[in-house]
Amino acid sequence: MRFDGKVLLVTGAGSGIGRAMAVGFAARGGLVAAADVNGGNLATLASELGAAGMVIEADLSLPGSVAAMMDAAMGRFGRIDVLHNNAFGLPATLQRGRLAKVADIVDEVWDYNLQVGLTAVMQATRRVIPIMLAQGGGAIVNTASISGQFGDFGIGAYNAMKAAVINFTKTTAIEYASDNIRCNCICPGMIDTALFRKSMDIPGFTDAALAAVPAGRLGRPEEMANVALFLASDLASYVTGAAVVADGGLTAQTGVPTRFRNG
């Protein structure tokens, strides 16, 4: 799998899955525009990517940020062959409202979820399509989640946002399939990243979560990037509108956790 001559724009590239995507794409010959709100992490990534990359500091919760990010990538590379909409994470100011049953959902947390996790995805997709049409095609990969396919206790805003990402992926796919633009999403399970580690302070969560995963471990960011890289590549030339689950078997099972049944 090679990406020579291709340009990737990836959001949330400072950490976790987005960072692994940026590094994996560059390692396969591609050029990378890496966007994130975290300037410190971007500086580290910039030195790793070297001439194969540029970094763009962007807070996707702010109006105009998506347009500015895309203008910066186009200004540097003049094309975008792969768009990976991946950024998400609640800022420190909203952490207090992170876990809430439906009756207690905080408006600001709901709005942030939709803005960064969904509206920014739509805005970037809307802007990249004319670019890809002019280039003769392209690939869009969205990071959704198994949380978009099922309910989770206490993160209803996140569940609703990720479900919408899966369905927006499908609509984008069917509307542009005949234009050689493919759109797919990945549905990670529990992946060992900064975002997931925030859940680990819930008493008992980590043990219960790991007991439920047939693979018996968390996923690694690189394992999610590998799926995204495949979907971005020509190897996936007939794959569009797919929501590819990568969760160590978590959602393949019935109610009783596999590892529990096996002792």
Ligand X SMILES: NC(=O)c1ccc[n+]([C@@H]2O[C@H](COP(=O)([O-])OP(=O)(O)OC[C@H]3O[C@@H](n4cnc5c(N)ncnc54)[C@H](O)[C@@H]3O)[C@@H](O)[C@H]2O)c1
> Which of 112, 158, 176, 238 is the catalytic position?
158
Question: Within 14-53, which residues bind ligand X (CB under 6 A)?
Answer: 14-18, 36-38, 41
Could you tell me if 61 and 35 are in contact, meaning their C-beta atoms sit under 8 angstroms apart? no
Q: Is 193 in the site for ligand X (CB under 6 A)?
A: yes
Question: Within 115-174, which residues bind ligand X (CB under 6 A)?
Answer: 116, 143, 145
Nearest 10 degrees: CA dihedral of 18, 62, 131, 138? Answer: 20
Q: How many CB atoms lie within 10 A of CB 253?
A: 14
| CB of residue 261 to ligand X, shortest distance in Å | 24
Q: State yes or no: is 158 an active-site residue.
A: yes
| CB of residue 251 to ligand X, shortest distance in Å | 11
Number of residues that bind ligand X (CB under 6 A): 30
| CB of residue 122 to ligand X, shortest distance in Å | 14
Of the pair 12, 53, the CB lying nearest ligand X is at 12
The total number of residues written for the chain in this structure: 263
In 3D space, the residue among 235, 87, 250, 247 whose CA is nearest the CA of residue 165 turns out to be: 87
Question: Within 71-90, which residues bind ligand X (CB under 6 A)?
Answer: 86-89
Q: How many CB atoms lie within 10 A of CB 209?
A: 17
> What is the distance between the alpha carbons of residues 10 and 117, in angstroms, rounded to a whole number?
14
Three-state SS across 170-206? HHHHHHHHHHCEEEEEEEECCECCHHHHHHHHCCCHH
| CB of residue 157 to ligand X, shortest distance in Å | 12
Of the pair 14, 53, the CB lying nearest ligand X is at 14
Catalytic residues: 158
Q: Which residues bind ligand X (CB under 6 A)?
A: 11-12, 14-18, 36-38, 41, 58-61, 86-89, 116, 143, 145, 188, 190-191, 193-196, 221
